[in-house]
Structures are given as C-alpha cells and as structure tokens.
Amino acid sequence: METNKYKLALLFIIAVLVSDLSQAEQSSRKKGYDIALAVDNRNAGFQDSVAKLSMILENSQGRKTVRELEIKVLENIRNGDKSLIKFNFPADIKGTSLLTHPFKNQADGQWLFLPAVNRTKRISSRNKSGAFMGSEFSFEDMTNKNIEDYTYNYISTEACFDYEAKTTAVQCDIIERYPIDKHSGYSKQIMWVDQLDKKIYKIEYYDRKNVLLKVFKAHNFVLYKNRYWRANKVVMHNVQTNKVTSLEYKSIKFTIGLNDRDFHRSALRD
C-alpha cells in the first residue's frame, strides 16, 4: 500500500515537471517569436530603398578583392520583400544581377542573370546554400526572409558588444531560429537583438552538422528617416575556412518610388 503511494507521488511529480517544461518551452518559443516579430515590425513601412555598396572578399591569406554593387529592395508585406542586386565592378561581371522574390509557405524564387552569356539562370532550392558570387554570403543569406520561415526560441538576455563604440553598453536578447526550409544550408542561427532599437548585432550560423560555420557582425549603425536603423558595415566570417566577406555601404536612399515593374524578371536585363 505504501509502495503504491510512493509510485503515485512520483508520477505526479514527473507529470508536473513535464508540464512545467512544456510550458517553459512554449513560453520560450513565444518569447523568441515575439522578439523576431518586433524586429520585423521595427523595419516595417520603409516602402523601398536603394543602396550602393562595396563587397570586399578576403581569403584565408588576407588577399582582398573588391566588387561594387547596388541593392534595390521593395517592401512586400504579403509575401516578403523583393530585392534586386546588380554588380557594377569588376567590369567583366558588370550587369550580373540577382533577383529574389520571397514567398510565404513555399520556396523563394531566385534568378541570376549572367550578361556574359546573355542568360538567366534560376537558382534551384538545392543551391540556396551555394556561394553568392564567390562570397561568404550564400544565396539564402541574400534573401529578405519572412518571419514564418523559421521557428524561434528565446535563450537569454545579456550585455551585447557594440562594435562601433567598442563597448558592451547595449542589452541584447539572444534568440535562436530554426529554418523550416529543408534545403537551408543551416541547422540553426543564433541572433543577438538589441532590446531597445531591435538592431541585429550578430548572427551565428550553424551548418547542417550543427557546427558553427559563419559569424555575421553588424557595425556602424545609422538611423534613417528617424526610424530605420541600417548597419553601414556588415562582416561575414567563415570560421571553418577563415574567409571573410564585408559589405560596406556607401549610400542608402529610401522611398524613391520603386514598384513591382522594377522587380519583374525582365528587370534582370535592364
């Protein structure tokens, strides 16, 4: 009789623990999602933007090569922001363009136009993890992802390193996100999000074997139109190969009147 009592008590404790853990997990997911949603909302309403930037590729021996490019983005609340990236340097790849149409609940559309052969190549979902023009950014990294493309988890809150001020003055929420797309090159990403302005300071990308692959860091944030924070420099460091790609922004303009026609597939050749 005594034994049965103990068994019942043990079962009760286990049930409570499991229920608590499940509730904690749900709570962590919700908090992670809420932080991601806040980042998304903080950036909403910009309509469109055009940025000119340099892409600096550095190999493991420190040799650098430079590319110049322009990125146009059109806000698209319904299906995810469309983007068109066009290279201006080196001269032999001038006109090379990448058009991205993100979609909710289906694979994103990506097309690469190669002027040397006058052909448009569609990027298959299996090649999303491939290097974008030899950089440490993959085709997947060049997509403005939807919030629904991941599931989230809140991890913790800690002082976050401000790369511009070189201090740890900012409080950041740390969340992890798991891609839903089975063709993603990543098993998970861990993000450091500034609590106040929702700036993303750092992202760690883990490969499919769950080993740290790349670290993204954002520097020199500038506030545009009194609302939109943009990092003037972002750095992607591949910790497995020790190659680095930096994007240094020269200018960003907002609300210049871009429309869907500027992101039509025929715009790749324009």
Partner 1 sequence: MFTSLSGKNFRTSIRYWKIFIIYITTLGFYTPCLAEDILDNLVFDLASTTRYYINKNGKNQVVNNQFSYGYKGEIKLNTKFDFSQFKDIKFSSQVFYNWNNKDEERRYMDIRKANVYFHKGENKFGFGIDTFFWGASESINLVNVLNQSDISESIDGKVKLGQTFISVSNQFSNGEITFIYLPKFRAINFPQRPSYGLPISNSNLFENNKKDGGYAARALFYVEDYEFAFSYFKGTRRQPILIRSSMSPELLTPFYIQTENLLFDGVYLTENFTLKTEAKIGKELGDGFTAASFGIEYPSYLFSDVIDEVIFIGEYIFDDRKITAETHAQNDIFVGTKFEFGDASQSSLRMLYSYDLDYRGQYAELSYQHRFLDYFRVKAKFVKVLTASSEERRLHALVGEEFVKFSLHYAF
Give the range of 31-39, 90-98, 189-197, 213-221 binding partner 1 by CB under 8 A. Answer: 90-98
Query: With contact defined as beta carbons under 8 Å apart, do 71 and 252 qualify?
Result: no
* 110 CB burial (10 A radius; 0-12, 13-18, 19+): buried
Query: With contact defined as beta carbons under 8 Å apart, do 87 and 97 qualify?
Result: yes
CB 249 to partner 1: min, Å: 19
CB 136 to partner 1: min, Å: 10
Tokens of 261: 């026609």
CB 90 to partner 1: min, Å: 5
Choose, by CB under 8 A, the member of 14, 20, 130, 223 that binds partner 1: 130
CB 196 to partner 1: min, Å: 37
Give the range of 74-82, 124-132, 150-158, 247-255 binding partner 1 by CB under 8 A. Answer: 124-132
Give the range of 1-9, 20-28, 84-92, 143-151 binding partner 1 by CB under 8 A. Answer: 84-92
**How far out from the chain centre does Cα 252 lie?**
19
Site for partner 1 in 189-218 (CB under 8 A): none
Choose, by CB under 8 A, the member of 51, 71, 73, 133 that binds partner 1: 133
Q: Under the criterion CB under 8 A, does residue 127 sit at the interface with partner 1?
A: yes
* 112 CB burial (10 A radius; 0-12, 13-18, 19+): buried
Q: Under the criterion CB under 8 A, does residue 7 sit at the interface with partner 1?
A: no
Q: Under the criterion CB under 8 A, does residue 57 sit at the interface with partner 1?
A: yes
Query: With contact defined as beta carbons under 8 Å apart, do 268 and 97 qualify?
Result: yes
Please list, residue by residue across 137-152, b when 16 or more beta carbons sit within 10 angstroms of its beta carbon and e when fewer do.
Answer: bbbbbbbbbbeebbeb
Whole-angstrom Cα distance, residue 162 to residue 168?
6
CB 131 to partner 1: min, Å: 4
Total residues interacting with partner 1, rule: CB under 8 A: 31
C-beta atoms surrounding 126 within 10 Å:
10
Query: With contact defined as beta carbons under 8 Å apart, do 103 and 80 qualify?
Result: yes
Give the range of 11-19, 35-43, 131-139, 154-162 binding partner 1 by CB under 8 A. Answer: 131-139
Tokens of 220: 């020199």
Choose, by CB under 8 A, the member of 124, 157, 210, 251 that binds partner 1: 124
> For residue 200, which of 175, 179, 182 has the smallest C-alpha distance?
175
Q: Under the criterion CB under 8 A, does residue 253 sit at the interface with partner 1?
A: no
Looking at the Cβ atoms of 118 and 156, the one nearer to partner 1 is 118
Tokens of 29: 């997911």
Looking at the Cβ atoms of 158 and 270, the one nearer to partner 1 is 270
Choose, by CB under 8 A, the member of 7, 30, 104, 183 that binds partner 1: 183
Tokens of 244: 């680095």
Give the range of 37-45, 129-137, 170-178, 197-205 binding partner 1 by CB under 8 A. Answer: 129-137
